Structure 1
């Protein structure tokens, strides 16, 4: 494995090959730190020591008609999660203000479901417009499920700059995790938001029984689609979901996956999302060497690391927070991880922890 060659390609903004990406995943645990260091050189070249913070707010939780096997909000899931319809707008904007006050430049407002109706799209557009008005330096990203170009245009006109909709896994593996919609439906949403002038944010979930080749295939597919942000989720095998028995990830494996994503997407935002705390554990500071974006505090239906601990980890590791009024700032409305990034956090026995509430821990 020629890490120097991979770094040289990355510094030129070029992706490693499929064969090289597979080498990274297949490497022994003893090679994890050298791999992280190599990916870190590329990360620092394009993003320095900046870290973008993302803050999640769930607009609507549970009761989703889709049967995604990894998701606590999916049809058929018996997971013990909050279930409610649209929360009050003032609650939304108070949480936005709280997230920004704690350093978040990305605030994710989530609505579960297959995709928004025209009425739902207008509702979220009004929220976006108010955020844009009250926090003009903050970028806005929306994610509400499957979307067509017309609805994407409504969100863009309101001020949305980004839309998140994860591919989640490779085309060859997709039928194993969901049958109520397909890989092509997700890819069509990414294409639609791009056509509407919105930057696509799309990523994956690792640990769902996929092969190394399938992991590499979805990461390369995302690169070919030109996504600007790549959330990397690690499956939380929450009790009550179809994938509750999947516990195949280790801290070293997760770090190699993140490094592979960075070396395929050298100049894109790589975001460490759900599962960071549960799977990477004491090695979490190494995530910052590879990813330039993380979530602050809680996820959708899960508890993350307390926000103050995230902030301390960033500064103790020699990184700095990008402010909403500085190098970057993003408010993310939704995240397809209404089904993907938001699976509940578990304790050591696999028991779900109760959420502290939306936002900062």
Structure 2
């Protein structure tokens, strides 16, 4: 995964705002920027590339951004922009429309092919936090006319797909996370699906394609499982929690790289792998970490971890600089018996 960081405070004060203007033009679309704090502007932005999708957590001082008709004619990347507000307010005005205000927990959307003015403010010069998403207009699995009707609608993270999208964006904004190129592209696909589902939810009569509906249900199942990795996540339990049959659950995962049981096992192993590297767990026995994530049979966990990452859990914990292999075959039955768990 490609991630870069820009901090205006690393530049001379006189160069900061102009450099921010240049970065915005290359990341989003050219806009006219102005700010009463331009003389020594403060902004920090992380740029995370997830395939064709770009996510950028940002903390910036108040600013006004104008996407004028002249700039649209000069350069249009043909994209949708989504801003997820974590603080401050964002006022948006479009041609012949009054300004609408978006506060924390709100999503603001624009189309780079249209004109608009965005005013990011908080009543002071302190930093305003948010997460922006850039995605191509043709990347959404829904008719263009339908996605266009969603642009500018009021959307929040309080329920439904907005809640799932908000949780994912907050996680990306919390701290740098390493992904391989393929993992980054898959995560970008997840973001696209969530945005499409949220758009469909606010458009009267709007419906996703059958494939997008399948993907969204898979996402809900996976999100539920990640929150409950310590529970007995059998196919029957997952199907019941989502009011579908077990056979339909298996059909949902037919086009995935793994069966539902294989996916759950891999998620548990990956969560334990992360916890083994967390200094806060230094004194927690490995078998306790495994049990907490649903591995009731210690020998099976040790064998599955080694098959997945090429080393034992103990060796992984004791060698912080060790690089693990890419997850391999996770099909060993976690309920089987075998060697001893590393302690």
Do both proteins adopt the same fold according to a TM-score greater than 0.5, normalized to the shorter chain? no
Bigger Rg, which one: 2
Q: TM-score normalized by structure 1?
A: 0.23
